[in-house]
């Protein structure tokens, strides 16, 4: 029977096991540049079959929180090169998550204090994290966005494409397109943020158009089997919703099947919360989503995420519901999570106070099960 600890062939990339480190925002990259300790942080977690980095802004416009990393300056890319080298030196595999936040941003993070961009001028009821002139961080409401003009969208597609090229040049094994959790591509998909009446709004095929254009551009740039995508069909994160997610996401799945994806990464339920969370009248049918992808000829790996423990993960693999399982929060405090799960060892709890922002504390100082920090 398939186990989490079996190797996996991800479109030619050999993974040592089927455990994935999920993307985790940590806000420790001033001026969008990963620090030397970021290389240490990821290298400590390199026994994961695959690491997906924290969300990484493709452009300054795509940034929505203080101190998240980017892919749009030479300095940031040089920082990422030290990360990919450090992970590869430990025998790990790492892809970068390509992120554009859309409306989930604040004027103080945008060039010249401009409004963030979105499908429509609909403000998210939510907060983002900024650092004031006095150097202190705090939460502020997201700013009112401006609606993107259709003529700007090819430029955004190009931004994804350029970021994907830069990522491969910085040594990443591939990229993951962040289309989840209420950020730009999800804002186009779901009706709660998309009030457009042009070719990018309204009917399902219109709302999915930008996402599929980005997928086309990025897969063309990376070549086959090097692009994954993350979806969250029902999450309420960042004030997003849709009354009918099932046909929308099945349409997306069929569209993805026409591209040579490395994997489809699905957050089941509310991100970081209730796995049974629903939007719309019916519970979302994730098996039907997978079937829509496979029936349309999709051959990428199926990656699942959200609140998995060892038993639930093994069941998902054994039943064929998944090929890979992504673990998020446990990876903050358990750099050797693979070993702990394999040997049935207890997991360490993470300190919430150091999830977002700060320094080495709560970042690179979680020991492995023997009490040492490896690599130092």
User: Where does this chain bind ligand 8OZ (CB under 6 A)?
Assistant: 25, 55, 65, 180-181, 237, 271
As a whole number of angstroms, the distance between CA 321 and CA 261 comes to: 18
Distance CA 105, CA 66 (A): 10
- Residue with smaller CB distance to ligand 8OZ, 240 or 253: 240
The set of residues, in sequence order, having a beta carbon less than 8 Å from that of 201 and lying 6+ positions away, is: 119, 120, 188, 194, 195, 207
C-beta of residue 209 within 8 angstroms of C-beta of residue 248: no
Please tell me the distance from the alpha carbon of residue 292 to that of residue 83, in angstroms, as a whole number. Answer: 36
| Residues 137/219, Cβ–Cβ less than 8 Å | no
Q: How far is the CB of 97 from ligand 8OZ (least distance, A)?
A: 8
206/187 Cα distance (integer angstroms): 13
| Residue 177, phi then psi, degrees to nearest 5 | -80, 120
Minimum CB–partner distance for residue 55 and ligand 8OZ (Å):
4
Cβ closest to ligand 8OZ, residue 77 vs residue 231: 231
> Which of 42, 226, 192, 170 is CA-nearest to residue 104?
192
Q: Among residues 72, 183, 200, 331, which one is catalytic?
A: 183
Closest CA to 102 of 150, 175, 156: 156
Min CB(35)–ligand 8OZ separation in Å: 18
| Closer residue to ligand 8OZ, CB minimum distance, 31 or 299 | 31
Active site residue 72: no
Q: Which is nearer to ligand 8OZ, 235 or 314 (CB)?
A: 235
* Token pair 């989840």: residue: 180
Per the CB < 8 A criterion, the answer to whether 267 and 235 are in contact is yes
The distance of closest approach from Cβ of residue 364 to ligand 8OZ in the complex, given in angstroms and rounded to an integer, is 19
Minimum CB–partner distance for residue 181 and ligand 8OZ (Å): 4
Q: Which of 50/341 has CB closer to ligand 8OZ?
A: 50
Report which of 86, 208, 102, 227 is spatially closest to residue 164, judged by C-alpha positions. Answer: 227
Residues recognised as catalytic:
183
């Amino acid at each position: 029977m398939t186990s989490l600890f079996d190797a996996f062939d991800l479109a030619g990339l050999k993974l040592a096991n089927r455990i994935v480190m999920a993307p985790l925002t940590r806000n420790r990259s001033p001026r969008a540049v990963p620090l030397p300790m970021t290389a240490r942080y990821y290298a400590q977690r390199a026994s994961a079959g695959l690491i997906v980095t924290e969300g990484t802004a493709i452009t300054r416009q795509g940034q929505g929180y203080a101190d998240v990393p980017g892919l749009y300056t030479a300095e940031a890319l040089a920082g990422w090169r030290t990360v990919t080298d450090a992970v590869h030196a430990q025998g790990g595999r790492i892809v970068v998550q390509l992120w554009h936040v859309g409306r989930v941003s604040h004027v103080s993070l945008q060039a010249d204090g401009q409004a963030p961009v979105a499908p429509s001028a609909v403000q998210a009821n939510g907060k983002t994290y900024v650092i004031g002139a006095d150097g202190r961080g705090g939460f502020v409401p997201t700013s009112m966005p401006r609606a993107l003009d259709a003529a700007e969208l090819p430029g955004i597609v190009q931004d994804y494409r350029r970021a994907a090229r830069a990522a491969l040049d910085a040594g990443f094994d591939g990229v993951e397109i962040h289309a989840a959790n209420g950020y730009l591509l999800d804002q186009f998909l779901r009706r709660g943020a998309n009030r457009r009446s042009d070719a990018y709004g309204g009917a399902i095929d219109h709302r999915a158009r930008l996402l599929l254009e980005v997928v086309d551009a990025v897969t063309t740039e990376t070549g086959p089997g090097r692009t994954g995508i993350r979806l969250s069909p029902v999450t309420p994160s960042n004030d997003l919703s849709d009354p009918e997610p099932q046909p929308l996401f099945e349409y997306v799945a069929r569209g993805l099947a026409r591209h040579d994806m490395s994997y489809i990464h699905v957050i089941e339920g509310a991100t970081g919360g209730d796995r049974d969370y629903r939007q719309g009248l019916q519970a979302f049918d994730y098996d039907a989503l997978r079937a829509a992808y496979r029936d349309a000829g999709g051959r990428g790996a199926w990656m699942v995420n959200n609140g998995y423990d060892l038993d639930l993960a093994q069941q998902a693999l054994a039943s064929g519901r998944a090929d890979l399982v992504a673990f998020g929060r446990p990876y903050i405090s358990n750099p050797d999570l693979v070993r702990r799960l394999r040997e049935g060892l207890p997991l360490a709890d993470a300190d919430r106070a150091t999830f977002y922002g700060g320094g080495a504390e709560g970042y690179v100082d979680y020991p492995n099960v023997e009490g040492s920090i490896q690599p130092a």
